[in-house]
Structure 1
Amino acid sequence: MRSRTRKGTRRSAPTVITLTTLFGLTVTACGDNGSAIAGGEGGEGSGKGTITFWDNNTAVRRDIWLEIIRDFEKKYPDIKVQYVGVPAENAQSKYDTAIQGGGLPDVGGVGAAMLAGIAAQDALEPLRDRLAESPLEGELSESMLKSTASAGGTSQLFMVPTSANNGVMYYRTDLFKAAGLDAPTTWKKFYEAADRLTAKDKNRFGYTIRGGVGSIAQALDAMYGQSGIKSFWNADETKTTVNDPRNVAALEKYTALYKKATPAADLNNNFTQMVAQWDGGQIGMLSHNLGSYQDHVKALGTGKFRGLPNPKGAGGKRVQVSNPIDGLAIFKTSTKKKAAWKFIEYASSHKASSKFNESAGLIPANSAAAKDAWVDKSEPTRLAAEALNSPATTIVQLPYYLPDWNTISKADNEPAFQKVMLGKTSAKDFLDDLADQLNTAQADWKQRNG
């Protein structure tokens, strides 16, 4: 396995720290207002004081987190929350740096894709016993709790899930209607629309493909969705299926869209750039997830687009890869774990969970929040929840439990995927190399865990 090292103003409302001050936090002990230095055991604390919270997706969730923090501080006036916003693409490296150098937060947002890597460094506080004694016991989705525990790589629970995401095919209903096209409910209809909606001389494109940060997960979704392969591993879970010839063919077809039916800028676009491009231009389709729904509503209203679950295959079945669950974790070095847990309890409660997930457009982990009226009114969220629970849908579980998964699926292979888009590397060579890395990581994990 590869080795890994991984202007705010004080108010009665939460303190906000931008990324410019984050580097100071990662190398300095926070004393009474934060966490202990790297290697410290931390402590429970009195249940009062100031705790530091890192938001792992500040670009799209900053405002709703600040609102929830204000509500929390009203309920618990003896606890103040210092908010630190971290862009999603930097979250893993920021946590890894702080684990090595000190300055971890008391509580932080952690996605399932990075959970095992952080847990493997012994940086996270076990939470199962706290949850068992909490009012939250029995209120959270059992399936999300099981998926979260699995993602951590052990039987322990290192994160309380807050939300589930799902892949979404957003499409411009006005452009489809004008072209006389059916909704992209199947991969055949998707490729037909990508071709017919493209008019390069008018700067119109059928699709926008993700070539920058976060490209691998989207490519895997498109591959398995088209190939219909239902498992990430072979029968004895020693070899991955990513380089199965059917997946190779699917990736070849998918990446062939680049510059043929997509903008050239897609090569380097991350999700924020891709979403902004789709919202502001004449592009027919966008593959993203529930998290960008509110951005589309703000830009386009609700009458010009829809968000559907990923297309079905030729047999009428839908295969999709698992989307990471997001949640909140307490770091072992925290000297205020009691206060940090109160924050997690509040953020995961019915009212706060509903408010957060309605704003983010995600599926709530709180079971009562998942039944609130807004879920039915938000079509992409409702359809995603239905698709996830449908017997016609197969979920290919990605190996989030591998400590190196986040590195392999991001930094190690995103530049290589760009070479496939540019035609400099074949889809087969790319997937064979990816498979070698995954098989090695899986073998190492199996050896360590018996």
Structure 2
Amino acid sequence: MPISRRALAAAAITALALPLSACGSGGDDAGSTDASGKVEGNITFQTWNLRANFKDYFEGVIGDFEKKYPGTHVKWVDQPAEGYPDKISADAAGGTLPDVVNVAPDLVAPLAKAGLAMDLDKAAAKYKGEYLPGAWASHQVPGLPGTYAFPWYLNTGPLFYNKTLFKQAGLDAEKPPKTYDELFTDALQLAEKTDGKVATLANVPTIEDFGRYGSTLTNKEGTGFAFNDAKGVELLTKYKQLYDAKALDPQALTATPESTGKKFLTGAVAMNPGSALDLDNFKKQAPNLYKNIGITDQITSTGHVNMYVQGLMVNAKTRNTPAAVAFAHFVTDAEHQMSFAKKVAIFPSTAGSLNDPYFTKEDGTDETRVRVAAAKSLKTAVNYTPVQFSDQMKTALRNEVAKALQGKQSPKDALDNAVKACDQLLKQQG
């Protein structure tokens, strides 16, 4: 799929109850978590809209694998971005799921519940230490023991801020806020100093914000949501204070990434998430802003930023467990992740890779400024979005948050209602 921060978040899989009896490409009698046998046989590898730009890369990786393991053959299938979750669901229900599948955490969750995703804590435990702890944990499903995909490439986004606006408000432009408490204090000061003409933020809080603030997002079993806890209510209460003081942009309730980016570009908003592409845009369209851009980490009160992650799942029904596990590991090992990261703006999930000079040394370009900042934060990043949290749930949360900010209901009532709505949607997932 197109590799961008938004794409890496991945659209939630359509709520489709997969039959627990659904078999994979190997049939009901196939499937074993024992990967210790000889690596041989035919397997199918499916990616998500990667052939157009990376055909040579993947053909090279497959060729190297087949050379390393004579007697293996990997058939590569690349699916278009449009309808990918539905394609996976249909293959799972029809018993035609490939042996190794490119997934995001929300895509793997229903497959794991249906018994179609192999538990790598059993099949590939020896490889666990090769990956960043947060990345390995990203494909775990609450309520189920195990890990259901090898972590592959990661992404995250730094936060840009306008140093000029900070200075004008009497804030230290070289010490941007790091925690939510610092953010709220600075935002209120900035709004006061500008008589409400400049907001610090242009987005309402999302599920990731509640996670970064320290709210407990789900119960331990994963059977219900819990972001209406004391921390969650506290966060939304503070956002309400920002909204009332015009420290949160009045149009945040209907904001899009494009609209918030434009407000940052014109100096109406002091902070906004972004990427190296945005820096280039600033340089061309707003040179004065570009000269005064600050780059900092995402705001977090937990000490861990949010990561977006892709993975490679092994079909639990594969006939060739040793080959499928070996190939999924081969594609996601440190060497191959590093070579892939140098072809596109993503980050490896393997331990130690982010210490490579490619991710630690700046050369004065916009690209490396952002890459170094993002890589540093990814070492301890967490995928906060619960694997069960669908697009419908995101909408339900956003709607209730909007009511709270507008004063139509209390923050507590808003989050209680959001949790209730999300729990109902969760039950429909099966």
**Alpha-carbon contact 1:194-1:205 (below 8 Å) kept:** yes
Change (3 A) 1:104 1:41: closer
Query: Tell me, which stretches of 5 or more residues in structure 1 are unaligned?
Result: 1-25, 27-37, 390-394
Q: Deviations over 1:172-201 (max 9, x none)?
A: 345435655321234354235545379999
Aligned to 1:309: 297
Change (3 A) 1:359 1:51: closer
Change (3 A) 1:218 1:371: same
Offset of residue 335 of structure 1: 8.0
Aligned to 1:209: 203
Q: Deviations over 1:66-116 (max 9, x none)?
A: 5742542554686453333437xx765664465446765554333334533
Aligned to 1:284: 270
CA–CA distance in structure 2, aligned partners of residues 67 and 256 of structure 1? 53
Change (3 A) 1:92 1:84: closer
Query: Tell me, which stretches of 5 or more residues in structure 2 are unaligned?
Result: 1-13, 15-20, 31-38, 67-72, 284-289, 362-370
Aligned to 2:22: 39
Alignment of 1:141-290 (within 5 A): 141-142=132-133, 144-145=135-136, 147-148=137-138, 150-151=140-141, 153-163=143-153, 168-177=158-167, 180-182=170-172, 183-191=176-184, 193-194=186-187, 196=190, 205-210=199-204, 216-221=206-211, 224=213, 231=216, 242-255=227-240, 257=242, 260-262=246-248, 266-269=252-255, 273=258, 276-277=261-262, 280-282=265-267, 283-287=269-273
Which SS does the other structure have where 2:239 is aligned? helix
Change (3 A) 1:103 1:149: closer
Aligned to 1:72: 61
Q: 2:233 corresponds to which letter in structure 1?
A: V
CA–CA distance in structure 1, aligned partners of residues 181 and 320 of structure 2? 54
Offset of residue 208 of structure 1: 2.1
Q: Deviations over 1:107-158 (max 9, x none)?
A: 433333453333112332344455358xx5653335543x246436433331
Change (3 A) 1:423 1:172: same
Change (3 A) 1:245 1:202: closer
TM-score (norm 2): 0.64
Q: Find out whether 1:84 has 2:79 as its counterpart.
A: yes
Change (3 A) 1:410 1:241: closer
Offset of residue 207 of structure 1: 1.9
Aligned to 1:52: 46
Aligned to 1:110: 103
Change (3 A) 1:101 1:197: farther
Aligned to 1:20: none
Which SS does the other structure have where 2:115 is aligned? coil
CA–CA distance in structure 2, aligned partners of residues 192 and 438 of structure 1? 31
Which SS does the other structure have where 1:286 is aligned? strand
**Alpha-carbon contact 2:139-2:151 (below 8 Å) kept:** no
TM-score (norm 1): 0.61
CA–CA distance in structure 1, aligned partners of residues 171 and 81 of structure 2? 40
**Alpha-carbon contact 1:159-1:327 (below 8 Å) kept:** yes
Aligned to 1:349: 333
CA–CA distance in structure 1, aligned partners of residues 138 and 220 of structure 2? 23
Q: Find out whether 1:125 has 2:125 as its counterpart.
A: no
Q: 2:356 aligns with which of 355, 367, 372?
A: 372
**Alpha-carbon contact 2:191-2:197 (below 8 Å) kept:** no
CA–CA distance in structure 1, aligned partners of residues 349 and 358 of structure 2? 15
Aligned to 2:130: 139
Which SS does the other structure have where 2:275 is aligned? helix
**Alpha-carbon contact 2:264-2:270 (below 8 Å) kept:** no
Which SS does the other structure have where 1:151 is aligned? coil
Which SS does the other structure have where 1:299 is aligned? helix
CA–CA distance in structure 1, aligned partners of residues 128 and 231 of structure 2? 43
CA–CA distance in structure 1, aligned partners of residues 122 and 220 of structure 2? 34
Q: 1:384 aligns with which of 367, 377, 382?
A: 377
Aligned to 2:276: 294
Offset of residue 369 of structure 1: 1.8
Offset of residue 329 of structure 1: 1.2
CA–CA distance in structure 2, aligned partners of residues 265 and 163 of structure 1? 34
**Alpha-carbon contact 1:54-1:85 (below 8 Å) kept:** yes
**Please, what is the CA RMSD of the aligned residues?**
5.1
Offset of residue 435 of structure 1: 4.1
Q: 1:206 corresponds to which letter in structure 2?
A: T
Offset of residue 254 of structure 1: 1.5
Identity, in percent, stands at 19
Aligned to 1:21: none
Aligned to 2:368: none
Q: 1:329 corresponds to which letter in structure 2?
A: M
